[in-house]
Amino acid sequence: MYTCGSCKKQVTLKPDDPIRCPFCGYKLLIKERPKVSKRVKAR
């Protein structure tokens, strides 16, 4: 899932799709990060 940088809509892309928002045509898409934080033990 990606978020458009201009219209803020959720966009799903396939591997052969162009990197462009299908709603507004903007070329900047932001990848969604998982909301789960990782815990790492320090040594």
Residue 5 identity = G
Reported as a single tens digit per residue, the pLDDT across 1-43 is 999 999 999 999 999 999 999 999 999 999 998 888 888 898 8
At the second CATH level, the architecture of 1-43 is Single Sheet (2.20)
What is the C-alpha R_g of the chain? 15
The overall longest dimension of the chain from CA atoms, in Å, is: 49
Distance CA 11, CA 32 (A): 10
Distance CA 28, CA 20 (A): 7
